[in-house]
Structure 1
Amino acid sequence: MRSYQGRDPRGTMSGVKIIPIGKPRTVRQRILEALGDLLAKQGFDGLSLDLLARTAGLERGVILRHFQDFDDVVTAFGQSSAFWPTVDELREDVAERFAAMPPRAQLAHFFKATIRGLLARPRTLDILAWELMSRNRYTRLLEYPRVRSALEFFESVTGDVPESLDLTAIVAVLGGAAIFLTVRSRQSGVFGGLNLYDDADRERVNRALDLLLSGLIREAETRQ
C-alpha cells in the first residue's frame, strides 16, 4: 500500500512529527523560513542579504538586528530542525531501548531515521537537489551542522564496535546514498525501481541497511 504517490508528498509519515503550521512566528523564524523557501526555489546562486530581505518582506537592518550577517542566517537555518533532523528526533522511536540494541542495529537505525526525517522535509530535499549542482561557502555552511549531528549520534553508540570499522567511510557512503535516494524520490519518484515514499520500498531499503551493517561489522570483527 502506497503512503505517497509521485514527487509531492503532502501527508505525514507514520512516526514522523511535522512542525505544525499556524503558530505565531517570531521575526527570527520568519527570516529563517524565508531563507529556506528562497533556497528551495532558487538554489544557491545569487544569494545575498538584500535578496533575503526582499523575500522576507523586511528591511535589511531588521535582519541584522537578529543575525550578525548573512552567513549567520545560513548557519542558523542549517542548525534548525526545520532543515535537518535532530539527534533526539533520529532516536525518538527507539530512545528507551537504544542502549540495549546491538551496534549494527544502532548504526543501521541512524540511516533509516535519517531517510525518514528527510522525507518529512520536502523543502530540505529541494535544497539538497540544488546543493548537488552547486558548491560554495553557503553549501558548506549548511553541511557543517549535519556533520556535527552525525558525529553526535555516533558518539552515543554503545557496545563493542570493531576498531577496524571505518565509520567515517561508512557514513560518507551510506549517508550519501540516503541523501541521493531521498532527493531522487522527491524529484522523479523512482530510482532503480525504488520510491522511498512507498512504504514497501522503504522497508526494502531498511532491510538492505540491516544486512549491510551486519556484514560490515562481521567483516571488521574477523580482521581483528
Structure 2
Amino acid sequence: MKHLMLTFIVLFISIDSVFSQDLSGKRITVHARGSGYGFEYFVETSCFENQIKIKIKSKDSVSNHTLELDSNYLATRKTIYSLDSYDLKNDRHVNLFKKADSINNAYTVYDIDSVIILNTKNPAYEKLLRELFSSSMAELENQEGNKNRIVLDGTLMYFDFLQNNSSLFTARAHSPSEVSHPLLHRYIKATLAIYRKETKNTFFTIQRSGG
C-alpha cells in the first residue's frame, strides 16, 4: 500500500511540474534543410505571459552566381562533399554544415511571416510546449531508440531550446517521425498546422516545408 501511495505521489508531482512550468521567456527555434539544399526553412516559437508567437522564415531564392564566387564557401563545400557519410553526432560534421549555412544565408532571400495566438485558445499546443521543455535532449532525440537508425537523405533538423535568450540545449533529428522522434515530430506538425490555419497564408506550402 505504501509503495502504491509513493508511486501515485511521484506521478502526481511529475504531471504537476509539467503543467505548472512557466513558459514565459522560453523559445524554440528550428532550422530545417532538405537534402542537397533543396528546401530550407526556420520555425520559431516564442512564449510570452498569455501569448505564443509563431514565426516562419522560408528560403525563396539564392544568388547562386555570387555564391559560386565565394572561395570560402567553395572550400567548405568541397570538404563536405569529401565526407563518406554525415553523422549528426559528429561535431566536426555539424560545424561544417553550419559554416556552409552561414555563408549561404548571406546570399539568400527569405520570405518571413508570423502569427500570434492566445494560450487560452490553444491549450493542447501549450501543453505540448510544456512537455518539450520538461524533456531532456536525450529524450527528445530518442537516442536509445534511434541508435541503429540510418537515414540517407531526408530533412536535417536542429531544435534550439532557449530561456530568456540563453541556450539550454540543441536537439538534432534526421527526418523526425512519430516513431523516431515523437515529441519533436508532434511539435513541427502542430506548429505548422496552427500557422497555416491562423494565417491562411499560401506562401509556405507543403512543398516548401517538405511535408
With normalisation by structure 2, the TM-score equals 0.25
Give the structure with the higher percent strand: 2
Q: Name the structure, 1 or 2, with higher relative contact order (CA <8 Å, separation 6+).
A: 1
Give the structure with the higher percent helix: 1
